[in-house]
Structure 1
Amino acid sequence: MSGERSLLSGKVAMITGASSGIGAAAARLFAAEGAAVVLMARRKDRLDILVEEIRATGGRAVAVNGDVASSDDVERAVATAVDTFGTLDAAFNNAGFATAGKPLHEIEDDVYEQTIDVNLRGVWNCLRHQVPVMLRSGTGGSVVNTSSVAGMKATGASAAYVAAKHAVIGLTRAAALDYGEQGIRVNALVVGSTRTEMMDEVLGAHPALEEAFLSHSVQRRMSAPEEVAQAAAWLCSDRSSFVTGTAMAVDGGATAQ
C-alpha cells in the first residue's frame, strides 16, 4: 500500500543464530522491513556475506562474531548495537542447537551441556544484556525467544533439548511479568519442523525421521525458515503491541494434535 510504513521502520534489532536457517531469513526480512540489524553467530564468514547482501539492497546491518553461551560475547553484541545504531528496540533470540534424539541415559555429558548452554543459557544471556538497554531507553522494546514444539510436549528430540525448550517458555513468561510495566514485551515462538541446514543434517544422518517430522504437521509439510521469520518480525513490531508473555505456535498444527 502506497505510503504505508514498513513493519519495522526505525527499529534496531538484534538477531542471534543469524548465519543460517531461521536466523538468516529473519535478518533479510527485518532489514527489508526497515530495521537496522545486528547479526550474531559463530560463523563469521557467513555473517559477513549476509551483511554485504543486506547492505547491497540498501539495508543497514553489522555482524558480531560470537557464541550466545558466552555472556561476554552477548554483551559485546548488545554494545555494538548501541555504538553503531544508538539503541536496541527489538531482539530475536534464535540461536539453537539440537542433535538426533537419544534416550536420556544415552545422552553424553558434553551434548547435554552444549544443548543447555546454547538453547537456555544463550537466551538467559541475551535477556540479561538486552533488557537493561531497553529499560534505559524509556521507550520499551520487544524480545522474541525461539522455543519449539519440544517446549510444549515431549517429542522425539533428546530429553536435554525438551528440557531446555520448556525452560525457554518459562523464562519468557517470567521476563514478560518482570518488565511489562516498563513497556518491554517478551514472547516465545513455538517452532515446528523447519527446513533448515540443521534439519538437513539430522535427516542426512537419520533419513527415516523425515516421515515422523512430516507427520507432526496437520499440513503434512515442514515450514520454510521465512515463515517463522514472518512471525518473529510481527512480534517485534508495534502491530503486536498487546501481545506479551505468550508462546506463539508456528508449527503447522503440531501442538493441536
Structure 2
Amino acid sequence: MDHVTSQDGTAIACRSVGEGPPAVVVNGALSEHSSALPLALALAGDLRTTVYDRRSRGHSGDSSPGVEGAVERELADLAAVVEAALGEADDDGGSGVSVIGSSSGGLLALAAAATGLPVARVVVFEPPLATPGFPLSAPPDLPEQLHALIGEGRRGDAAALFLTAAVGLPAEVVAQMRRLPDWAEREALAASTVYDTALSRRYPEVAAFGPVDVPVLALHGEGTWPMLRASAVAVGEAFPGGRHRVVAGADHRLDPDAVAAAVREHLTTA
C-alpha cells in the first residue's frame, strides 16, 4: 500500500491498478479498500483505478477524530487521493478523475463533484439518500452517539447501533451477527461509522448537494431494497448530466463485472 497525506496530517492508504485515464473508487460503510479492489481489477484494462482506505479504516489513520468537521476531513482525504491519482496517470482524460462511489461512498463522490474537486464524471451505486416515499430514519444525533460509544471503548455497541439505526437492520438480526466470527472485523471499523453518518446528515437527499455539473450515472441492483432503488433513480433524474441504470441480477452487494461494464459505457457516452 502507498500513502498520501491529508490536510490534517492523516496518512491515507491507497493502491492503484491498471492503465488508462484515472479513476478512484470510494467504498461504503464498514469496509476497507479490499472490498473495492475487485471492481478496480475489473476496470484495469480501461482505467488506472485507485482504491483507498477511508479515514479510520484499515491502513489509514485519523489524526482528527470527532464529529466536528468530519465531512470536510473526508473530502480533504479524497482530494489528496485524487491529486495522487492525477499525478501518476499517463492520461488524465483531459478533465480530471472519474469517481466511483458505492453506498455511503456515493455520497462522498457526489460531494466531491459538488464542491469543486477535479472530477470528470461520477458513478454511484445505491447511495443511501431519502426520497419522498422513503425518509431516513436515523436520529439526528447519531454521529455524536457513535462517537461517544467509541470514546467509551464500546466498539461492538457502536457497530450494532450503526446497523440498527442507520442501516435499519432488526435488532435481533444484529444480535445474531454479533455471535459470528466476522463480527470482530466490524468492531475494528466501528469508529469509521461516525464519518458515514456525518455524511448522511450533511447530505440527506439529492437536493442537498446543489449543482453537480459533470455527468452522473446512478446504479442500483435489480434485487436491492426499495429505498436504495428509489435513491438511485432520484440521483439519475436530479442533475443535467444524470442517468440511471439497473444492474441485472444484483442486490446491494456490488457486482464488479456488471458495474465495470456500466462504467465503461458511461465513459464512452458521457
What's the TM-score once normalised by structure 1's chain length? 0.42
What's the TM-score once normalised by structure 2's chain length? 0.41
**Greater helix fraction, Structure 1 or Structure 2:** 1
